[in-house]
Homo-oligomer: A and B are copies of this chain.
Amino acid sequence: MAVQTKTITVSTNGYSDVVDLTNKVEEILVEQDINTGIVSLFIPGSTAGLTTIEYEPGCVQDMKNALERIFPESDQYAHNARWGDGNGFSHMRAAFLGPSLQIPFRSKHLMRGTWQQVILIDFDNKPRNREVVLQFIGE
């Protein structure tokens, strides 16, 4: 059993930019001395989240629409009233979607669905550079 910690650096456009991390995660997995186990992904910061989706333009657009409908940018947010940075909507989206995601792998392959990609969504109201933490535990 071993644990390996890696990071992926991503530049985003903010505003619920959806970034497909799948290829990078699978490239890093191949390089580790672990064949079977779990990769835990975590996004440091309180205005971004991780999940899986079928990464095709329709679903990506639907995700942006759903986020804006459920947590509208133009709503009144107490965070904005206190701090004036205008990203109250970003904090809500991030807290609901959550910062962590775990995916099992076997023989160095993620046990995901064929049409299921690993995504980062950057909810902030400006472009950001993000560091996603990957931690591999297994043998």
The 8 A CB mask of A43-80 against B (1 = contact, 0 = none) is: 01110000111101111011101100011000001111
Does A120 lie at the interface of the complex (its beta carbon under 8 Å from any beta carbon of B)? Answer: no
Does A5 lie at the interface of the complex (its beta carbon under 8 Å from any beta carbon of B)? Answer: yes
Q: What's the interface size class on A, roughly?
A: 35 or more
User: So how many copies of this chain end up in the complex?
Assistant: 3
Cross-interface CB contact of A51 among B3, B98, B106, cutoff 8 Å = B98
A131 to chain B, nearest CB (A): 9
Complex: how many Å from CA A35 to CA B102?
21
B37 adjacent to A116 (CB under 8 Å)? no
* Residues of chain B contacted by A42 (CB below 8 angstroms): 102-104, 111
* Residues of chain B contacted by A137 (CB below 8 angstroms): 1, 3, 37-38, 137-138
